[in-house]
Amino acid sequence: MGVTTRRSVVSVSLNDLESLIRRVIPEELARQRQQHILDDWSHGGPGDPVGDEDLLRDAQAASEGYRVNREGWLTWEEFEAEIGRAEAAGAMSQEVQPPV
């Protein structure tokens, strides 16, 4: 048995096509702006309150560990100062190498 595929040809004038594009593109852009990543939980998987509590506890413990033992961690201001010192010493090249 074969499957019959129907095809339709729709004719649209250039003016109608332009009007449609001018209406649809702004609507779609506005729709996408409304869906902020923080509001889109579709990537988060199923609800897991116990797992969420475990993650929160781990994050709080790590944060406290960083606060108590700051070795290797910089504030943004400290980072900028370090970059400034490296640039002044000529230790930073302006050339960017592509990843290998």
How does pLDDT run along the chain (100 residues), one tens digit per residue?
577 888 888 898 999 999 999 999 988 888 777 666 667 676 677 788 888 899 999 999 988 888 888 777 788 898 899 989 988 888 776 665 666 5
20 located within any domain: no
Cα separations (Å) of 66 from 52, 59, 62, 92?
21, 11, 6, 28
Range of the domain at 73: 51-84
76 located within any domain: yes
59 located within any domain: yes
Cα separations (Å) of 97 from 40, 60, 77, 92, 93?
36, 37, 26, 12, 10
pLDDT at 59: 92
pLDDT at 24: 92
The domain tally of the chain equals: 1
2 located within any domain: no
Q: Which residue has the tokens 């070795």?
A: 71
67 located within any domain: yes
43 located within any domain: no
pTM of the shown model: 0.34
pLDDT at 32: 75
56 located within any domain: yes
